[in-house]
Structure 1
């Protein structure tokens, strides 16, 4: 039987009891905690946790996702801190263990992983019915997308420039895009290795999930569409116009939160991605 109370680090949690004080260090998880009805128990967030806007406005900030102010965090006396393997550093998490009783580690790597995420947080914090409702809504969204026979498109999803950075296929973003049959470059470490000979920003390490690269002819020629995400880098339509002139390949601006945010946002994200894909089909 699957352990619904086992987090991504392999730690088994128990249902929270007594006074519960939650700090979230991940924007999408902050939004999810509110969607589960846990607003009164949330006592802190990062400066990047901006949704839901009205609800988080007066919550204390404890720095950023990767530069957490441990003194501020300690002062909030949290019973639980919710973190993510990609978003937060191991050093921060280990330092928190000295004064935080319960650290919940998450790591969704595909849209379907949200079911386990909902169940984990719902079970820990006594919000099983809310978690089940979110799961039903996500299942409906995924089933709706699966009913369409999406044509295969080769895409490059850019998350940064200077250096240019993209996503590998073992990321949540790539697996979201795969729902509409958009296949991201690079497909494998071999693709990155083939980008050598001085063409890459740096030699790619095996298993690199967010590799840096430079634009080169064979990569561009095999691409149907270049996607510039609105986060974490704030790409704009001006960036799209400039890159399209440079590469001769169609370039589109895409809402990064809809593609990369797991949690409750994934439900809206799946539907938004389908609408976006139809517009570019």
Structure 2
């Protein structure tokens, strides 16, 4: 996590920030930077007050250069996975660009601390990290370690590999990623799902909005699997929302434990 090379440098605390990353936008909110954040993406849905009131500069992968330029930021916050590098590199001609790269909970903690330092909110960032650590420390892993297929997309089916933040969360709470040997976000077939026969299938609420109607479709492929709708934000938003992930994940594990008995 660092600044990309460019002609601009951050001098003192930022006064106008453009955030290209939804989970980091919410972090800026919880750091108390309402007056400082000048622009966000159309996917920055938290907090709702910002989503409705802050200028939007496009999507995470469709950043409008002219809209960012018009906001005259002195800091742009981006992410290696969520943003397109060529787009982000072009933005270095407008303002310094700070790029995060998150693969696990430790990376998230380091990012939160770094953003706190960049914005003069080290105390608030430390408090957020403390809440996150305490929430995850309170999780009791299940006595059994079931295999879980975590689906993020449909048509084609897509899951998560070993080098993703979601994989780290699954592993951290005592679950086995059914596609742990894969990289990134592999496309998989119905035949492969059937052959692997995971004990559980998690249907994430994002980026694909899985609903109840999709459960029957998967149940026909893997009749013995337990299929659950899960809150994707609790598995993949690596900012201040992690403060509420620990209790959510503990409740999910308890639900799984009841099914296992």
Aligned-residue offset at 1:241: 2.2
Q: Deviations over 1:135-172 (max 9, x none)?
A: 11111112111x54542110110101111110001110
Per the normalisation by structure 2, the TM-score is 0.91
Q: Deviations over 1:90-110 (max 9, x none)?
A: 11111111112x111011211
Aligned to 2:231: 255
Aligned-residue offset at 1:8: 7.9
2:5 touches 2:92 (CA, 8 Å); kept in 1?
no
Aligned-residue offset at 1:264: 0.4
| C-alpha distance in structure 2 between counterparts of 1:109 and 1:66, whole Å | 19
Aligned to 1:275: 251
Q: What SS does structure 2 have at the residue aligned with 1:253?
A: strand
Count of residues in Structure 1 that have an aligned counterpart in Structure 2: 255
Partner residue of 1:173 out of 166, 172, 178 = 166
Q: Deviations over 1:167-197 (max 9, x none)?
A: 00111001111122111121214xxxxxxxx
Partner residue of 2:137 out of 133, 143, 149 = 143
1:31 touches 1:263 (CA, 8 Å); kept in 2?
yes
1:14 touches 1:124 (CA, 8 Å); kept in 2?
no
Aligned to 1:238: 213
Per the normalisation by structure 1, the TM-score is 0.85
| C-alpha distance in structure 2 between counterparts of 1:25 and 1:32, whole Å | 12
CA RMSD of aligned residues (A): 2.1
| C-alpha distance in structure 2 between counterparts of 1:83 and 1:187, whole Å | 27
Unmatched tracts of structure 2, length 5 or more: none
Partner residue of 1:187 out of 180, 184, 193 = 180
In structure 2, the CA distance between the partners of 1:150 and 1:46, relative to structure 1 (3 Å rule), is farther
Aligned to 1:99: 94
2:167 touches 2:180 (CA, 8 Å); kept in 1?
no
In structure 2, the CA distance between the partners of 1:272 and 1:26, relative to structure 1 (3 Å rule), is same
1:111 touches 1:266 (CA, 8 Å); kept in 2?
no
Partner residue of 1:34 out of 29, 34, 46 = 29
In structure 2, the CA distance between the partners of 1:124 and 1:18, relative to structure 1 (3 Å rule), is closer
| C-alpha distance in structure 1 between counterparts of 2:143 and 2:166, whole Å | 17
1:47 touches 1:62 (CA, 8 Å); kept in 2?
yes
Unmatched tracts of structure 1, length 5 or more: 1-5, 190-207
In structure 2, the CA distance between the partners of 1:111 and 1:219, relative to structure 1 (3 Å rule), is farther
Aligned to 1:51: 46
In structure 2, the CA distance between the partners of 1:96 and 1:154, relative to structure 1 (3 Å rule), is same
| C-alpha distance in structure 1 between counterparts of 2:12 and 2:188, whole Å | 48
1:36 touches 1:127 (CA, 8 Å); kept in 2?
yes
Aligned-residue offset at 1:15: 7.0
